[in-house]
Amino acid sequence: MNVYETDPEFVERVNYFISEEVKKEPGQELDDATRYLAVLAALVGCQGA
C-alpha cells in the first residue's frame, strides 16, 4: 500500500507539519546537528532505526 497514492492530502499535511510548523516554530528552533541527534535518539528509543 502506497500512502502517497491512497491519501495524498494526508501526506501533504504531514509534510507541511513536519517541515514548517515543527521545524520553524518561533523560539524552538534547533541547529541541524542537535535536530539530527534528537531524531536519532527517538528512533533508537523506539527501536525504529
Q: What is the DSSP string of 1-49?
A: --HHHH-HHHHHHHHHIIIIIITT-TT----HHHHHHHHHHHHHHTT--
d(CA 25, CA 31): 13
> In whole angstroms, how far apart are CA 37 and each of 7, 31, 33, 45?
30, 10, 6, 12
The predicted model gives 11-24 an average pLDDT of: 85
pLDDT single digits (tens) 23-46: 777 887 888 899 889 889 988 998
The predicted model scores a pTM of: 0.50
Q: What is the reported pLDDT for 10?
A: 92
